[in-house]
A and B are shown apart, each in its own frame.
Chain A
Protein backbone atom coordinates (compact mmCIF):
# COMPACT_ATOMS: atom_id res chain seq x y z
CA UNK A 1 0.00 0.00 0.00
CA UNK A 2 3.03 2.27 0.35
CA UNK A 3 3.32 2.56 -3.39
CA UNK A 4 -0.22 3.83 -3.77
CA UNK A 5 0.88 7.38 -3.03
CA UNK A 6 3.40 7.42 -5.88
CA UNK A 7 1.19 5.44 -8.25
CA UNK A 8 -1.42 7.37 -10.16
CA UNK A 9 -4.33 6.33 -12.28
CA UNK A 10 -3.73 6.45 -16.03
CA UNK A 11 -5.75 5.47 -19.05
CA UNK A 12 -4.48 4.34 -22.41
CA UNK A 13 -6.67 4.22 -25.51
CA UNK A 14 -5.27 2.51 -28.59
CA UNK A 15 -6.11 1.68 -32.19
CA UNK A 16 -5.00 -1.70 -33.51
CA UNK A 17 -4.55 -2.21 -37.24
CA UNK A 18 -7.55 -3.93 -38.88
CA UNK A 19 -5.35 -6.54 -40.61
CA UNK A 20 -5.24 -8.61 -37.41
CA UNK A 21 -7.78 -11.47 -37.55
CA UNK A 22 -10.41 -11.31 -34.82
CA UNK A 23 -9.17 -14.41 -32.96
CA UNK A 24 -5.71 -12.89 -32.57
CA UNK A 25 -6.85 -9.53 -31.18
CA UNK A 26 -6.68 -11.01 -27.66
CA UNK A 27 -2.95 -11.69 -28.15
CA UNK A 28 -2.34 -8.04 -28.97
CA UNK A 29 -4.27 -7.01 -25.87
CA UNK A 30 -2.04 -9.33 -23.86
CA UNK A 31 1.09 -7.65 -25.21
CA UNK A 32 -0.24 -4.23 -24.22
CA UNK A 33 -1.12 -5.64 -20.80
CA UNK A 34 2.38 -7.11 -20.46
CA UNK A 35 3.95 -3.69 -21.16
CA UNK A 36 2.09 -2.29 -18.18
CA UNK A 37 2.52 -5.24 -15.83
CA UNK A 38 6.25 -5.65 -16.56
CA UNK A 39 6.90 -2.13 -15.32
CA UNK A 40 5.03 -2.74 -12.07
CA UNK A 41 1.69 -1.36 -13.15
CA UNK A 42 -1.65 -2.65 -11.95
CA UNK A 43 -4.58 -2.85 -14.37
CA UNK A 44 -7.82 -1.61 -12.87
CA UNK A 45 -10.22 -2.12 -15.76
CA UNK A 46 -10.16 -2.63 -19.48
CA UNK A 47 -12.36 -2.36 -22.52
CA UNK A 48 -11.94 -5.07 -25.15
CA UNK A 49 -11.01 -3.81 -28.64
CA UNK A 50 -13.91 -3.50 -31.02
CA UNK A 51 -13.82 -2.86 -34.74
CA UNK A 52 -15.10 0.60 -35.56
CA UNK A 53 -15.05 3.01 -38.44
CA UNK A 54 -12.56 5.83 -38.12
CA UNK A 55 -13.56 9.42 -38.72
CA UNK A 56 -10.62 9.90 -41.07
CA UNK A 57 -7.97 7.78 -42.75
CA UNK A 58 -4.89 6.98 -40.70
CA UNK A 59 -1.51 6.12 -42.17
CA UNK A 60 0.38 3.28 -40.56
CA UNK A 61 3.39 4.55 -38.65
CA UNK A 62 6.81 3.72 -40.06
CA UNK A 63 5.26 2.33 -43.23
CA UNK A 64 5.18 5.55 -45.25
CA UNK A 65 6.72 3.86 -48.29
CA UNK A 66 3.94 1.27 -48.46
CA UNK A 67 1.33 3.99 -48.02
CA UNK A 68 -0.85 1.76 -45.93
CA UNK A 69 -3.98 3.68 -45.01
CA UNK A 70 -6.79 2.43 -42.85
CA UNK A 71 -10.40 3.48 -42.62
CA UNK A 72 -11.30 1.26 -39.69
CA UNK A 73 -9.50 -0.14 -36.67
CA UNK A 74 -9.97 -1.98 -33.39
CA UNK A 75 -10.39 0.51 -30.57
CA UNK A 76 -9.71 -0.57 -26.99
CA UNK A 77 -8.72 1.06 -23.73
CA UNK A 78 -7.22 0.23 -20.34
CA UNK A 79 -7.13 1.93 -16.96
CA UNK A 80 -4.14 1.23 -14.76
CA UNK A 81 -2.17 2.42 -11.77
CA UNK A 82 1.51 3.08 -12.29
CA UNK A 83 4.39 5.37 -11.42
CA UNK A 84 5.37 8.24 -13.69
CA UNK A 85 8.60 6.48 -14.79
CA UNK A 86 6.72 3.29 -15.64
CA UNK A 87 4.31 5.26 -17.84
CA UNK A 88 7.23 6.66 -19.84
CA UNK A 89 8.49 3.12 -20.42
CA UNK A 90 5.03 1.94 -21.48
CA UNK A 91 4.78 4.91 -23.84
CA UNK A 92 8.05 3.96 -25.49
CA UNK A 93 7.15 0.32 -25.97
CA UNK A 94 3.71 1.24 -27.37
CA UNK A 95 5.47 3.59 -29.76
CA UNK A 96 7.65 0.77 -31.09
CA UNK A 97 4.76 -1.64 -31.63
CA UNK A 98 3.87 -1.67 -35.34
CA UNK A 99 0.44 -3.17 -34.77
CA UNK A 100 -0.71 -0.14 -32.85
CA UNK A 101 -1.86 2.58 -35.23
CA UNK A 102 -2.18 5.27 -32.64
CA UNK A 103 -2.55 5.56 -28.88
CA UNK A 104 -3.40 8.14 -26.26
CA UNK A 105 -2.05 8.09 -22.69
CA UNK A 106 -3.89 10.30 -20.23
CA UNK A 107 -3.97 10.81 -16.48
CA UNK A 108 -7.46 10.14 -15.12
CA UNK A 109 -9.40 10.15 -11.89
CA UNK A 110 -11.66 7.55 -10.33
CA UNK A 111 -14.98 7.20 -12.07
CA UNK A 112 -17.66 9.09 -10.20
CA UNK A 113 -21.26 7.87 -10.51
CA UNK A 114 -23.50 10.39 -12.17
CA UNK A 115 -26.12 12.06 -9.98
CA UNK A 116 -28.57 13.99 -12.17
CA UNK A 117 -29.95 17.17 -10.72
CA UNK A 118 -33.71 16.45 -10.72
CA UNK A 119 -36.69 17.11 -8.54
CA UNK A 120 -35.28 20.23 -6.92
CA UNK A 121 -37.95 22.64 -8.22
CA UNK A 122 -40.71 20.12 -7.44
CA UNK A 123 -39.66 19.99 -3.79
CA UNK A 124 -39.71 23.73 -3.32
CA UNK A 125 -43.19 23.90 -4.85
CA UNK A 126 -44.59 21.31 -2.46
CA UNK A 127 -43.16 23.23 0.47
CA UNK A 128 -44.92 26.37 -0.66
CA UNK A 129 -48.22 24.46 -0.92
CA UNK A 130 -47.77 23.15 2.63
CA UNK A 131 -47.31 26.65 3.96
CA UNK A 132 -50.54 27.76 2.28
CA UNK A 133 -52.45 24.84 3.80
CA UNK A 134 -51.31 25.71 7.30
CA UNK A 135 -52.60 29.23 6.93
CA UNK A 136 -56.01 27.99 5.75
CA UNK A 137 -56.27 25.39 8.54
CA UNK A 138 -55.49 27.78 11.36
CA UNK A 139 -58.47 30.12 11.10
CA UNK A 140 -59.54 29.53 14.71
CA UNK A 141 -56.06 28.76 15.99
CA UNK A 142 -54.81 32.01 14.56
CA UNK A 143 -56.73 34.02 17.15
CA UNK A 144 -55.27 31.88 19.91
CA UNK A 145 -51.78 32.33 18.57
CA UNK A 146 -52.19 36.09 18.38
CA UNK A 147 -53.45 36.11 21.93
CA UNK A 148 -50.46 34.09 23.05
CA UNK A 149 -48.10 36.44 21.27
CA UNK A 150 -49.81 39.41 22.88
CA UNK A 151 -49.46 37.78 26.29
CA UNK A 152 -45.77 37.22 25.70
CA UNK A 153 -45.28 40.82 24.62
CA UNK A 154 -47.10 41.97 27.77
CA UNK A 155 -44.78 39.87 29.92
CA UNK A 156 -41.74 41.31 28.18
CA UNK A 157 -43.08 44.83 28.60
Chain B
Protein backbone atom coordinates (compact mmCIF):
# COMPACT_ATOMS: atom_id res chain seq x y z
CA UNK B 1 0.00 0.00 0.00
CA UNK B 2 1.30 3.45 -0.86
CA UNK B 3 0.71 6.20 1.66
CA UNK B 4 0.09 9.61 0.25
CA UNK B 5 1.00 11.66 3.31
CA UNK B 6 4.28 11.90 5.16
CA UNK B 7 4.01 10.05 8.49
CA UNK B 8 6.38 12.47 10.23
CA UNK B 9 4.68 15.61 8.92
CA UNK B 10 1.20 14.50 10.00
CA UNK B 11 2.41 13.42 13.44
CA UNK B 12 4.36 16.62 14.04
CA UNK B 13 7.90 15.20 14.16
CA UNK B 14 10.49 17.92 13.75
CA UNK B 15 13.47 15.65 14.42
CA UNK B 16 13.76 11.89 14.26
CA UNK B 17 15.47 10.31 17.25
CA UNK B 18 17.71 7.30 16.60
CA UNK B 19 16.71 5.86 19.99
CA UNK B 20 13.05 5.69 18.95
CA UNK B 21 13.41 2.23 17.42
CA UNK B 22 9.68 1.46 17.33
CA UNK B 23 9.11 4.30 14.89
CA UNK B 24 12.26 3.61 12.88
CA UNK B 25 11.40 -0.07 12.41
CA UNK B 26 8.25 0.89 10.52
CA UNK B 27 10.44 2.15 7.70
CA UNK B 28 12.82 -0.77 7.21
CA UNK B 29 11.87 -3.91 5.31
CA UNK B 30 12.35 -7.58 6.16
CA UNK B 31 15.97 -7.45 5.04
CA UNK B 32 16.50 -4.36 7.24
CA UNK B 33 17.13 -2.00 4.37
CA UNK B 34 15.60 1.46 4.31
CA UNK B 35 12.31 1.54 2.37
CA UNK B 36 12.21 4.06 -0.48
CA UNK B 37 10.18 7.18 0.15
CA UNK B 38 8.10 6.43 -2.94
CA UNK B 39 6.56 3.49 -1.12
CA UNK B 40 6.15 5.04 2.32
CA UNK B 41 5.11 8.50 1.13
CA UNK B 42 7.62 10.27 3.35
CA UNK B 43 8.65 13.76 2.23
CA UNK B 44 12.24 14.27 1.13
CA UNK B 45 13.16 16.31 4.21
CA UNK B 46 12.01 13.62 6.62
CA UNK B 47 13.41 10.81 4.45
CA UNK B 48 16.88 12.37 4.86
CA UNK B 49 16.43 12.69 8.61
CA UNK B 50 15.09 9.15 8.83
CA UNK B 51 18.07 7.77 6.91
CA UNK B 52 20.55 9.38 9.32
CA UNK B 53 18.54 8.14 12.30
CA UNK B 54 18.53 4.58 10.95
CA UNK B 55 22.26 4.68 10.27
CA UNK B 56 22.93 5.94 13.77
CA UNK B 57 20.73 3.25 15.28
CA UNK B 58 22.58 0.61 13.24
CA UNK B 59 25.90 1.75 14.64
CA UNK B 60 24.68 1.15 18.20
CA UNK B 61 23.08 -2.19 17.23
CA UNK B 62 19.57 -0.94 18.03
CA UNK B 63 18.55 -1.82 14.47
CA UNK B 64 20.23 -4.52 12.35
CA UNK B 65 22.30 -3.86 9.24
CA UNK B 66 21.02 -7.00 7.56
CA UNK B 67 18.61 -9.76 8.47
CA UNK B 68 17.58 -12.82 6.57
Chain A interface mostly: strand
A77 within 8 A of B: yes
**What CA separation (Å) do A15 and B15 show in the bound complex?**
23
A68 within 8 A of B: no
Contact B60 A15 (CB under 8 A): yes
Chain B interface mostly: loop
Number of interface residues of B (CB under 8 A): 19
Contact B19 A13 (CB under 8 A): yes
B31 contacts across to A, CB distance below 8 A: none
A104 within 8 A of B: yes
Give the contact stretch, choosing among A52-60, A80-88, A134-142, A144-152: A52-60
- In-complex Cβ contact of A116 among B12, B60, B61, B62 (8 A): B12
**What CA separation (Å) do A104 and B13 show in the bound complex?**
22
Contact B61 A56 (CB under 8 A): yes
A106 within 8 A of B: yes
B68 within 8 A of A: no
B56 within 8 A of A: yes
A64 within 8 A of B: no
Give the contact stretch, choosing among A32-40, A90-98, A107-115: A107-115
B27 contacts across to A, CB distance below 8 A: none
- In-complex Cβ contact of A54 among B10, B15, B61 (8 A): B61
A15 contacts across to B, CB distance below 8 A: 60-61
Interface set, chain B 42-68, CB cutoff 8 A to A: 56, 58-65, 67
Contact A117 B9 (CB under 8 A): yes
For B15, B64, B67, which residue has the most chain A Cβ atoms within 10 angstroms?
A: B15
Provide the A39-63 mask, 1 if CB < 8 A to any CB of B, else 0. Answer: 0000000010000101110100000
A55-B64, A102-B61 given; A116·B56 CB < 8 A: no
B30 within 8 A of A: no
The closest CB in chain B to the CB of A52 belongs to B62
Binding site for B on A (CB under 8 A): 13, 15, 47, 52, 54-56, 58, 73, 75, 77, 102-104, 106, 108-109, 111-112, 114-117
